Amino acid sequence: MSTSAPAAAPAVRHVPRWLSLPPLVAIAVLLVYPTVFVVAASFTRTTLARPLQEWTGFTNLTSALQAEAFAGSLVRTVVFAVSAAVLATAVGTAVALLLRARGGGFGVLGTLLLLPLVTPPVMVGVAWKLLLAPAGGALTSTISSLAGTPVNPLGSSSTALGTLVLIHVWQWTPLVVLLVFASLLGVPDELLEAAALDGAGALRTFTAVTWPVVAPTVLSVLFLELVVGFKVFDLVAVVTSGGPGLSTVVASFEVFRTGLRGDYDVGTAAAMTLVLGLLVGVVTAGVSALRTRAARAES
């Protein structure tokens, strides 16, 4: 009885190492060099015309931390990012659940909901600035008619930041809907049917069946929304330019004002950037820990 020879192992094709050079160069140019420059500028006297002039130690960091405008911008940034992220995640998750309850795919309605997401941020700002214009703005005129008194949401320091939060939520909620809806498609139909047979209501089904599956995605989306909220700049620059007064000056806009306006103090602006990065890391660390815990619980 003859035995057949073992099949030869497939040949392994080695990819030339030089093919990894383009992405490495891109990482160095787009990530490593800017990071090194910001850190170096934070500890030197730096302007736009003359970068890295001389070592100043912690002078720039001290100036950044002692600046009242920057301290206020950090508070507004946290308020903006946290409130916008929580609101967008909650609304987006609710809309995704409603779309999933309808059955079938995303549908025409879901596609229309994505329009704010694909609109350029500058155009979003321009459109809302026109809608909320104190004279002739369609939305402002409607609100004023219903309230019986002139209303200017962007002209009051007590409502301007909240108005920007709502505009940001309008723009980024579709991303939450898209990601959470995709996660809801992974909920096994057998579990939903078993819950229905056991007489579980909608709330019980959500907490016991749906939420354990989608929780890692929802927390990941919350993490992403926090990062997007912390780095908001274009919306503030286009709609309010930081006004009225300093009521909508967030940290990224204050960095812009310090480094690219006035004295063009790039060194202090770089120090502000480091402080902002540290703040973002501290705030998002908690959400990251919750996301990791939820992922482990699901597995």
**pLDDT for position 13:** 67
- pTM as predicted: 0.87
**pLDDT for position 179:** 92
CA distance 209 to 293: 17
Q: Which long-range contacts link 43-51 to residues 24+ away (Cβ below 8 Å)?
A: 44/267, 45/267, 46/265, 46/266, 46/267, 46/270, 47/263, 47/264, 47/265, 47/266, 47/267, 48/259, 48/260, 48/264, 48/266, 49/264, 51/266
**176 pLDDT more than 60:** yes
**216 pLDDT more than 80:** yes
Q: 141-155 burial string, b = 16+ CB within 10 Å, else e? A: bebeeeeeeebbbbb
Span 253-271, mean pLDDT?
90
**pLDDT for position 105:** 65
CA distance 104 to 2: 57
Span 92-110, mean pLDDT?
80
Per-residue pLDDT of 68-78, as tens digits, reads: 999 999 999 99
- Residue 93 and residue 176 in contact, taking contact as beta carbons nearer than 8 Å: yes
- CB proximity list for 252: less than 8 A, separation 6 or greater: 77, 230, 231, 232, 233, 236, 276
Span 142-150, mean pLDDT?
88
CA distance 266 to 217: 38
**26 pLDDT more than 90:** no
Per-residue pLDDT of 188-204, as tens digits, reads: 878 777 877 777 777 88
Lowest mean per-residue pLDDT among 108-117, 127-136, 157-166, 260-269: 108-117
